[in-house]
Amino acid sequence: MATTRRMFCFVLVMVLMGCCCSAKIYKVGDSKGWTAKHGTYYDWAKRKEFQVGDSLMFQYDGNVNDVTQVSSRLEYQFCNSLSPKAVYNTGHDVVTLTEPGYHFFITSNHSQCVAGQKLVVLVVHDHPIPPPPPPRKIFPFGKDYKVGDSNEWRVPEESDFYSKWSEEKQFHVGDNLLFYYNDQVDDVLEINSNLEFKSCETTSPVAVHNAGQDLIRLTKPGVRYFITSKIGHCEAGLKLRVEVRPLSKSVPKKMQLSPFDRFINWLHESFRPHPHH
Ligand SMILES: *[C@@H]1O[C@H](CO)[C@@H](O)[C@H](O)[C@H]1NC(C)=O
């Protein structure tokens, strides 16, 4: 009994410790701190998984730099610090990441920002979201489509390549899109509207995928739009519009009939009493 209780306390302590130690503080750029070096922060952030509750610590010379948090990828890309979300300038700032999603940091010192003093981090929920049930159970007849077939997801030679690819297919609820691409070059942004699709608007995606191998389920009827955030790539034709049709109910029903059921049906059809006999 005593052993059980001690065991229980031990487990409880471990759980509590787990809770307290889970929020991490990352020193941006490690020993280099927050400074201008091309590619530094891209590589630095790529190897880490940031969770809600973690913090970033920026260490720098406050006389010539600051930490300007901006809202969009576009502001980040163009070092636009005109409408910041937040500005830190003590030279030793700790910024806690309170929401999931992308967080963009630049310096308002424009030349320094252009020289690479900018950071984007993707923050995920601290509790892993339980994976959705396997699609095959819900949609037994879903098909997998490899987007672009052998071209995969990359700038095509013909700018209408993906619209042709999509038009010659019929997508249904339950089907999957598989995006394969070089994650150093492209990503997959899902956007909401035809207008954003036409103008390759990357600022308010509904979902961002950048694993290089993404499976996207088509769970309801309607139109879905996919582009890439790489400048110029969407304009060159790396964009996909997919029309998802409702699951046609009659098809699965018919296909589900076993040979025996079909035999019974055949009996019914053949020996049904005819009214004009
Ligand atoms: C920007 O940074 C450079 C290099 O550290 C510095 O010489 C310059 O004074 C800074 N500009 C401003 C406006 O702080």
Position 143 scores a pLDDT of 84
Is residue 112 lining ligand 1, measured as CB closer than 6 Å?
A: yes
End-to-end Cα distance, the chain: 84
9-18, 41-50, 69-78, 225-234: lowest mean pLDDT where?
A: 9-18
Ligand 1 atom 7: residue of nearest CA: 64
- Higher-pLDDT residue of 256, 26: 26
Q: How far is the CA of 91 from the centre of ligand 1 (A)?
A: 14
| Residue 34 structure tokens | 């927050």
Position 38 scores a pLDDT of 75
pLDDT digits (tens, 9 = 90+) for 59-82: 999 999 999 999 999 999 999 999
Most confident of 14-28, 51-65, 134-148: 51-65
Average pLDDT of span 194-198 = 95
Q: Going from the N-terminus, what domains does the chain have, and what CATH number goes with each?
A: 24-126 (2.60.40.420), 144-245 (2.60.40.420)
Does 182 have pLDDT greater than 50?
yes
Q: How far is the CA of 110 from the centre of ligand 1 (A)?
A: 9
Most confident of 79-83, 251-255, 265-269: 79-83
Q: Confidence band (pLDDT; 50, 70, 90) for 46?
A: confident
pLDDT digits (tens, 9 = 90+) for 109-156: 999 999 999 999 988 876 555 555 555 444 556 788 999 998 999 999
Q: Which atom of ligand 1 is nearest to the CA of 107?
A: 1
Whole-Å CA distances, 66 to 32, 85, 87, 151: 15, 13, 7, 43
Q: How far is the CA of 264 from the centre of ligand 1 (A)?
A: 85
